[in-house]
Every structure is written in structure tokens, then in C-alpha cells.
């Protein structure tokens, strides 16, 4: 299956990051690898865009960051959800599910 161009799906990256961080604090590299592995590399995400999204969401107050130690004992910046971020995740998930269901329904009738 060909890789999906993520630009087509606005806000998807934010949702993926929020979902990823829902499991607990992670640094940017972990977020990137987790998305890649979970989607079996079917989603091509430019990592630069990923970091931009992380910082932007931090500014919006959905995420907060702290410096911590990584698995291999290096200094890394960890992100975690704030309560505002958790609320965003719930809202965006609902919208996405509805959207996908609607599109799927249309496709099935054809």
C-alpha cells in the first residue's frame, strides 16, 4: 500500500501526537518512532513538521514539557498532555470517528 500524504488530512498530525502522548510522557523521537511503528510506516510524517506541531501545541497549552533522562541516560525533552490537551484529544477523536464513519458509509454504498 502506498504511503499517504499527510498534508491532505488537516489536524491529523495533532491528533496522532495527542493520542501517542496519551500513554504517558515521551520525547519527540519516541513520538515519531511510535507513530511510524504503529501505522506500519504507512503514514509518511516529516519529522520537522512533527516537532513544529509539538512546540505549537505546547504554546497552546495542550502539552507541557520537561527535561528528563532518556533510556540511554541522555538529556531529552519529554512532552506530556495537560488537561486541556486531554480534552482536545477527546474532542478531536470524536470528530475524526464521525468523519471517517461518514466517508466510509458513502464509500460502501457505491
Binding site for other proteins (CB under 8 A): 25, 27-29, 32-33, 46-49, 51-52, 55-56, 58-59, 66-70, 74-78
Q: Which is nearer to other proteins, 2 or 106 (CB)?
A: 2
Q: Which is nearer to other proteins, 75 or 105 (CB)?
A: 75
The partner residues of 78 in beta bridges, in order of sequence, read 27, 66
CA-to-CA distance for 64 and 105, rounded, in angstroms?
38
- Cell, residue 67: 527535561
- In 10 A of CB 45, how many CB atoms? 21
Closest to other proteins by CB, 67 vs 104, is: 67
In the numeric block, which cell numbers belong to residue 14? 495533532
Query: Which grid coordinates belong to 45?
Result: 510524517
CB of 46 to other proteins, least distance (A): 4
CB of 107 to other proteins, least distance (A): 32
Alpha helices per DSSP H over the chain: 12-21, 28-38, 47-60, 83-109
Distance in Å, CB of 54 to other proteins, minimum: 9
Closest distance between other proteins and the C-beta of residue 90, in Å?
A: 24
Amino acid at each position: 500500500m502506498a504511503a499517504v500524504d499527510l498534508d491532505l488530512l488537516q489536524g491529523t498530525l495533532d491528533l496522532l501526537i495527542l493520542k501517542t502522548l496519551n500513554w504517558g510522557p515521551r520525547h519527540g523521537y519516541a513520538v515519531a518512532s511510535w507513530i511510524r511503528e504503529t501505522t506500519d510506516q504507512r503514514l509518511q510524517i516529516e519529522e520537522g513538521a512533527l516537532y513544529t506541531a509539538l512546540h505549537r501545541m505546547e504554546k497552546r497549552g495542550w502539552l507541557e514539557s520537561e527535561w528528563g533522562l532518556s533510556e540511554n541516560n541522555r538529556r531529552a525533552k519529554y512532552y506530556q498532555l495537560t488537561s486541556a490537551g486531554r480534552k482536545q484529544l477527546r474532542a478531536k477523536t470524536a470528530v475524526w470517528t464521525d468523519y471517517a464513519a461518514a466517508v466510509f458509509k458513502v464509500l460502501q454504498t457505491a
